[in-house]
Amino acid sequence: METSPKSLSPEAYQELLPGRTYVPFVPPELAVPEVTFRSVVWGLFMSMFFTFSLAYLGLKVGTVPEAAIPIAILAVGLGYAYKRRNSILENVIIQSIGSASTAIGAGAIFTIPALYILGIPTDIVKIFLSCFLGGCLGILFLVPLRRYFCAEQHGRLPFPEATATTEILVSGEAGGKQAKVLILGIAVSAVYEFLAIAVRAWNEVITFRFVPALDALAVKTRMVLKLDALSAFLGLGYVIGLRYNAVIVAGGLLSHLALVPLIWFLGQSLPDALYPGKVPIAGMSEVQIFSTYVRNIGIGAIFMAGVLGILKALPIMVKSLSLGFREIFKDKAAPAASAAPLRTDRDIRMSTILAGTAATAVGLFLYFLWISNAKFALIGVALCLVLSFLFTTVAANATAIVGTNPVSGMTLITIILGSVILIGAGLSGTEGMGVALLIGAVVCTALALSGSFVTDLKIGYWLGATPRNQERFKFAGVLVAALVVGVSIFILDRAFSFAGGSLAAPQANLMAAVIKSLMSREPVTWLLYGIGAFVALTCELAKVPPLAFALGMYLPLPLTTPLLVGGFISHLVKKSTKDEALADKRVNRGTLVASGFIAGGALVGILLAVLKLAKLDRFVSWGIPLVLEGDKWVDGVPRAWYTQYGEIISLAAFAILLYFLYASAKRAKK
């Protein structure tokens, strides 16, 4: 019997030459166990376990760590517990079902706690329905786009997180040298990040203000160049590559080194606060100016980039829909016009997608009818369907480019638009806030799910999974995660209280503040959103990828600059030899190490969050403080240590990490 190879095809991360077809790790004609009792049960267990864990961590520390990589590592490890090891496609199913936890967790914690904060009655059933129905929309709207993102854009979109997860699964299957390289990357990353974040042996963020000229520039103009010197971001940048990273960082430089100083310069003479700011601009730091004004410009740019992306993907979407309709209405008795699609190209039938969308729409109508009346229920259904459909492409594209889904920004747009429309229709006050937030919860979950699921489908595309199996059983993962997150949020509120308790819930507090001001008829920053939209339109006219540029404008600069450094290392590795075959091997070995960096960062991130929640973090820290009081930090350490020596040590440690990545990649032999 034919067996699968022990490594990915060299064409896995490259654009295909005309006439070439990508051959996955498990070829279409090869029969390998995929949907089995163990893969489904373990996938559902992962969904349940990680949903509760990530909901708690996210509400406490303000972010939801990605579960796909830890689940992939656990799936590979679990295979050794059985007499017959898990096949790689069984591990794909485990990972795909289990990763629903991240999306459902993010969709819930970004919005639902705002109901508790505002004192609006809610219960487990409402939380479950908003998450489950939103998750169903995310799957149903993404399936017709699978071929576009996974096959049509093969080699054009980097899919950094999918790359890391795929390398973990392949290394677990192959063993030997590949696994050793990956494990080495994980180990180096784990030690490095633990020292930087937990032990705080050096600064995590380098601001370069230890250089007197740059410090003076920061004070006088609020122009600060920052770099988050972590291995996970470096690995992410290596996988993404130089081209996209350059565009992303260009957007970040526009925001932080042009727009922030410009607003600071123009606002110094204003004695009063300028909406939406709460204090005069003259008293703001560069971080406050960015988060108050410039980030709204980034949100507008993301919105316009999404609209442009939808227009670009429209031909593929129309083609997929037309094929689906032909499948529905074709004469069943007539002979097939063409051969059946390959196993690796079989999706859920279009008739099932349409029926599922209709059923979800009915469910949404009954859901909103339960909390309001028929008029506002219809508005709620229309907003959920239209915005989820429009933003699905944005979420999937953003995840494919940079591995980050700007779901909070798109949810904010949803809540603003929903509130404006509901107010215009005559609904305001507590009921209006409740309906608008639940609309936001449905859309937020749909977008988080679509961004997460496009990663799963790309992993399946590279490895040779059957898309229909991933799509069908993703619903099971969503169902379990929605049940668990509803119970989790209810219990966590009872235990800690979102309204002034120990759970920060920063995104939910933002949503609550925005919707409260909107329902109080305060102005919306349409001008800032409009400026961002024109920036994205200009990028499109200049043939610059608008979404990548918009993401750079939206994300904090420290998160994007290390991506450029990683992309530059990838470029240097590619150019380190004139032998193209050897260059490809070096780049691929570097991708293994970089994937280990991403995995190590993800694992340490979860570990550190657990230590922080258990209040054990102080036992591993060297005591370099984080809070400034005057010229000294809270424990009396002089400011110069943390702003100068800490950054210099960080720069040296990061340089060593760069050399390790470059040297490890160059060790590949022809």
Tokens encoding 470: 């991933």
pLDDT on residue 636: 46
pLDDT on residue 603: 73
pLDDT digits (tens, 9 = 90+) for 280-335: 998 888 889 998 899 889 878 877 886 776 676 666 556 555 654 554 455 444 44
Most confident of 156-160, 427-431, 524-528, 657-661: 657-661
pLDDT digits (tens, 9 = 90+) for 34-77: 888 988 999 998 888 777 766 765 665 555 656 777 778 778 87
The mean per-residue pLDDT over the stretch 444-459 comes to 88
pLDDT digits (tens, 9 = 90+) for 357-395: 999 999 999 988 888 788 888 988 898 888 888 778 778
Residue 191 has pLDDT above 80, yes or no: yes
- Residue with the bigger pLDDT between 232 and 132: it is 132
Residue 641 has pLDDT above 70, yes or no: no
Max CA pair span of the chain? 83
| DSSP secondary structure code for residue 291 in this structure | I
pLDDT on residue 251: 92
- Residue with the bigger pLDDT between 591 and 138: it is 138
CB 505 within 8 A of CB 59: yes
Q: What is the mean pLDDT of the chain?
A: 80
pLDDT digits (tens, 9 = 90+) for 538-558: 998 998 888 788 878 877 888
The mean per-residue pLDDT over the stretch 640-649 comes to 71
pLDDT digits (tens, 9 = 90+) for 66-99: 677 777 877 887 777 777 777 888 889 998 998 8
**Buried-exposed string 109-140: b where 16+ CB fall within 10 A, e elsewhere:** bbbbbbbbbbebebeeebbbbbbbbbbbbbbb
pLDDT digits (tens, 9 = 90+) for 606-635: 677 677 767 777 777 765 544 444 444 444
Q: Strand, helix or coil at 134?
A: helix
pLDDT on residue 501: 54
- Residue with the bigger pLDDT between 350 and 640: it is 350
pLDDT on residue 303: 75
CB 582 within 8 A of CB 574: no
pLDDT digits (tens, 9 = 90+) for 416-434: 888 888 888 887 777 788 8
- Residue with the bigger pLDDT between 512 and 569: it is 569
- Residue with the bigger pLDDT between 162 and 402: it is 162
**Buried-exposed string 273-297: b where 16+ CB fall within 10 A, e elsewhere:** ebebbeeebeebebebbbebbbbbb
d(CA 547, CA 248): 9
pLDDT on residue 2: 45
Q: Strand, helix or coil at 382?
A: helix
**Buried-exposed string 320-333: b where 16+ CB fall within 10 A, e elsewhere:** beeebeeeeeeeee
pLDDT on residue 628: 45
pLDDT on residue 177: 61
Q: Per DSSP, which regions of 345-406 are E strands?
A: none
Residue 658 has pLDDT above 90, yes or no: yes
Residue 201 has pLDDT above 90, yes or no: no
Percent of the chain at pLDDT above 90?
14
pLDDT digits (tens, 9 = 90+) for 586-609: 887 887 788 788 777 767 766 776
Tokens encoding 467: 């898309």
